[in-house]
Chains A and B, each alone.
Chain A
Amino acid sequence: MQHVRNVMRQLLLVVISIVSLYPVWFMLSTALKSTKYYTLDPTGFPYHVTFSNFSAVFHNWPILLWMRNSLIVTIVAVGVSTVISIMAAFAIVFGKGRGRESLFRSNIALMAIPPVALLIPMYTLMVTLGLINQLPSVMIFYTGLLVPFSVFFFVNFFREIPLELVEAAYMDGAPHRRILRKIIVPLSGASTITLVIVNAIFVWNELLVALVFLQSNTSRTLMAGLALYQGRYVTNEPLLMAAAFFSILPLVVLYIFGQRFFVRGLTAGIGK
């Protein structure tokens, strides 16, 4: 009986794993087929492997430029939001003075605000500032969107830090700047990596804001470019799947090497 149950569980898990991975496999296998071969057998194994779709994407699409844009936007937005959130969380947890708890609470509420509700005012603001089709437009918006979760995340983490560590330094006469830099930041290494990964996934994957703010071909992020070229190349499935595969590749590689950071960070919003 126990044996039957184990076999059934394994069977269920195999089926679920296939369903989870199949869309990714379909993407890769299609990208490795010629258009002719794909039309003949869309789901079959790619026995006649061709890399022509990948090279076509590189030669005919500005995909390297889009990737570069995505990377720059991700680095700036994640970097800025992480630094300012660490500072705010440090003040909320270890500082004194009114308003700290209200700031923390507002961040919890803002975590769940639909970004689309902020899109129109932010767009008109960017028009006024002349930032449309410029990367700083999305950098500013993303930085703001990332702050609430980042503050929440660091506050929860800082509340677990043993107070003795901070106290000892304080007794030695260290100013708050030194306490943050020499004690808090070094202790936060793993947590910071976790948060950076979560936030980087958000920025890398974001479509709506990029679509609206970046409308020139050279300023697009990878997701916005992909969504736009979908309409242009909809009948060339292998080519589109090759481009889509490029967009997921960095994430899959990161996931394989840093799985625990992904899991820890993405589930951090649940619970306390």
Chain B
Amino acid sequence: MSSMDATTPLQELFDKEDQTAPDTRSVWRRHQLWPYGYMAPVLVALGLVFGYSFIEVVRYSFYAGSVGQLTYVGTANYKELFADPQFTHSMFNNFKLLATVPIVTGASLALALIINTTFRGVRQYRAIVFLPYILPATAMGLSFSYLLQGKGVLDGLLHSLHLSFLIHDWLGSPSWVIFSIGGVIVWQQFGFGVVVFSAALLSVPGETVEAARIDGASWWVVQRRILIPQIRRIIEFFVILQAIIVLSSVFTYVYVLTGGGPAYSSSVMEFFIYQNGFENGSIGIASAAAVVLLAIASVFIAFYIWVRVRATKQDA
């Protein structure tokens, strides 16, 4: 679809208005000052919370000591960081959690395809599945900490199902704990995927699917050849968004479920920054870790912007 032949009456109207700046919908012909006044509060808020913080966090990462008496140490914090097994372990835990992305995506896409018809109760089911996504991770983490603890509810269930070989101390075993946290993340994000993909599937025109059915295509072929390719862009979005979430907002799960333990085995980068910055008071180390996190996140963010800009262009 080219962007040229998809002009709406609206755009034509506005093209006549203003040939020079095709992105504007302004009715004001001359450049005026009021838009800057209207943007000013947002600029102040962003400048303070993002702009100021970016500059300061980079600056702190080259210093050691506490805020009152900072001493310049060059790149020593970064060297120390990558020599610190606690940091590299935390980083690898973030990477391990990336495994939840294909699981959430695959499972929720599968369910969205299965319920992509009208039958009794479909809306109610969707509402139930979406509920975990809005609930606070703090409260649900508390609930899960009892469900997953050694000899807890899950272990009891496994025992009564004669699956005793699967019984674990889900949060107390250093090798299992990060997967347990991943499980809770999947539980919370799954419904989001189902709703996103269901909405996308609803917008696929029915005629294409009908035509394929008439030609004798099986259910599976229709899904794989027609429906999934049609919503590919939404799937890409979802994958990138999930990757960013797993990388940069899983602190609550770790804090509430395990407190980073046992013996730091379930720490993630966010938790490392929190502990070093606020419990050990090493602002320099914590800031260096924050800069590393920003660097990793920006790779995903760049992807995200690329997908988004491409989508806007194709839609226009």
Contacts and interface: CB of A to CB of B under 8 A. Distances in A.
Interface string B281-297: 00100110011011001
Residue from B46, B190, B304 whose CB has the most chain A CB atoms within 10 Å: B46
B46 A106 contact: yes
A27 B25 contact: no
Residue from A119, A120, A255 whose CB has the most chain B CB atoms within 10 Å: A120
Given A108-B308, A241-B143, A263-B195, A93 B131 contact: no
Given A90-B38, A212-B278, A23 B140 contact: yes
Residue from A95, A140, A204, A212 whose CB has the most chain B CB atoms within 10 Å: A95
Nearest to A262: B134
Nearest to B194: A16
A117 interface: yes
B57 A121 contact: yes
B144 A23 contact: yes
Interface string A247-272: 11001100100010011001101111
A127 interface: yes
Contacts of A125: 52, 56
A53 to B, nearest CB: 13
Interface residues of chain B: helix, strand, loop or mixed (majority) = helix
Nearest to B278: A212
Nearest to A210: B138
18 contacts: A12-B111, A12-B114, A17-B125, A26-B146, A84-B41, A88-B39, A95-B28, A97-B33, A107-B46, A113-B294, A120-B273, A123-B278, A127-B67, A176-B38, A205-B136, A223-B139, A247-B139, A251-B136
Interface of A: 6, 9, 12-13, 16-17, 19-24, 26-27, 30, 42-43, 81, 84-85, 87-88, 90-97, 99-101, 103, 105-110, 112-125, 127, 140-141, 143-145, 147-148, 151, 159, 162-164, 166-167, 170, 176, 201, 204-205, 207-208, 211-212, 223, 226-227, 230, 237, 240-241, 244-245, 247-248, 251-252, 255, 259, 262-263, 266-267, 269-272
Interface of B: 10, 13-14, 21, 23-39, 41-43, 45-46, 48-50, 52-57, 60, 67, 111, 114-115, 119, 121, 125, 127-140, 142-144, 146-147, 152-153, 156-157, 187, 190-192, 195-196, 199-200, 234, 237-238, 241, 244, 247-249, 251-252, 255-256, 269-270, 273-274, 277-278, 283, 286-287, 290-291, 293-294, 297, 300-301, 304-305, 308, 311-312, 315
